[in-house]
Structure 1
């Protein structure tokens, strides 16, 4: 019995956007990406087997690579990863039903791209600084030193809780400091959930292309001021994943 195919939807773009011939979609081998148009809009899609498992790391990478590459040349509304419909008619119906809303959202994103600033505390630097500033924590660390885990279990738990709370408080402060330092070069910002217990900053910014250089420079200055304590990465340019909740196609 032949496998039934559907269409994997990547994102919504203006109707004049054309996928490049080398654009690769999800699947193994990678599927060809095409555009289905209706009025002022188009959807970037590729064929996928309806019974094919979705969610492999390679699939997510292909999804992000296509959207991020598109965002560098045109506004794009990412559709939630894994959205598959039965065929072209379903895609056209989607575009027709939300023509005005999607067109307005794309107009807002014209010449704007996302950057994400992610930083992680250097564990040794953070803990040594924390112990130097906190006598109670330093006392617990002294009680633990040279004792087995079993013999110092209670002190280790208390110290761990104190460090965890200190990380959370410092993270909140660093996120605020980051927005204060670079936010003037961004149209919008969105705090993101920590991806690790030692995360120091994790904020997405929507940046106008005219302010891109200034924004990058401000991020570099922020990172340099904290380079001993925080390992900071600037990720982008990206599709505006963190700025389309109001336009999400599939909840």
Structure 2
């Protein structure tokens, strides 16, 4: 029977798995496969596992339970191994790398910050603060038929949006990164202009959360900051 693999831990991890059921329509108990100084947390599966809500929640519940007991290397949803032996082989083969990463992540959790900006307010601010953009917009509203005007205004506004949001993203990151042991910035999507993951040690979590809350409250320009965490350190498992 195949195995669904949730995470890798050190052998000394308490592995409090009591009451946890795994992914799949016929969920089996979550258990550990030990090899040397490491353990992999797994459950038996007999079907293809898809990212359904129930299974996503089960995967996350295992990660959160493990985090409470110590350092963990969380695997992304959907990792399947053939059997216990193949899992043990990987743990033996890559033991040094896994142990080094566990040591690096010990005492930490991931926090994820996304930031977006109200588009209408941003546009109003640009038209108010940028004389050239305001002039072009007024000419269009007054009925000027020059076909180049809309394109010129659009290009000017787009450049100004990028400049302002890049500056906002840099300011937010510069204020929060000093609290982090590590951080990573990924491309933002949708209306977001910042997608920042931070590895925060437990001793700095309270100061970090307070700083982020104060920053989000003080920042203007229709900016919305969305902080999630503490999370398993997915972004920092290498």
Separation in 2 of the partners of 1:61 and 1:213?
26
Contact 1:19 1:35 in 2 (8 A): no
In 1: Cα distance, 2:171 partner to 2:206 partner: 20
**1:94-173 correspondence to structure 2 within 5 Å:** 94-142=90-138, 145=141, 159-173=153-167
Residue 47 in 1 paired to residue 40 in 2?
A: no
| 1:208 corresponding residue in structure 2 | 201
Structure 1 residues 235, 69: closer, same or farther in 2, change over 3 A? farther
User: Relative to 1, partners in 2 of residues 1:142 and 1:181: Cα closer, same or farther, differing over 3 Å?
Assistant: same
C-alpha separation between the residues in 1 aligned to 2:63 and 2:151?
44
Q: Which deviations, in whole Å up to 9, do the C-alpha atoms of 1:204-243 show, x marking residues without a partner?
A: 1111101111111111121111155211111000111111
**Mind listing any 5+ residue stretches in structure 2 that lack a counterpart?**
none
CA distance in 2, matches of 1:154, 1:29: 63
TM-score for the superposition, normalised by structure 1: 0.82
Aligned to 2:70: 74
CA–CA distance in structure 1, aligned partners of residues 125 and 86 of structure 2? 57
Which of 228, 231, 234 is the aligned partner of 1:235? Answer: 228
Output the CA distance in 1 between the equivalents of 2:179 and 2:130. 36
Between 82-91 and 127-136, the greater mean CA deviation after superposition: 127-136
Q: Does 2:35 correspond to 1:38?
A: yes
- 1:6-37 C-alpha deviation (Å, 9 max, x unpaired): 11111111223314323343223544321111
Report if the CA contact (8 A) 1:23-1:33 is conserved.
Answer: yes
Given the alignment, which residue of 171, 177, 182 partners 2:171?
Answer: 177
Q: CA RMSD in A?
A: 2.6
Per the TM alignment, residue 166 of structure 1 is displaced from its structure 2 partner at its CA by 3.2
Tell me what 1:18 maps to: 15
Residue 8 of structure 1 corresponds to which residue in structure 2? 4
Paired with 2:18 and 2:152, the residues of 1 have a C-alpha distance of: 58
Secondary structure of the residue aligned to 2:19 is: coil
Q: Distance in 1 between matches of 2:137 and 2:55?
A: 46
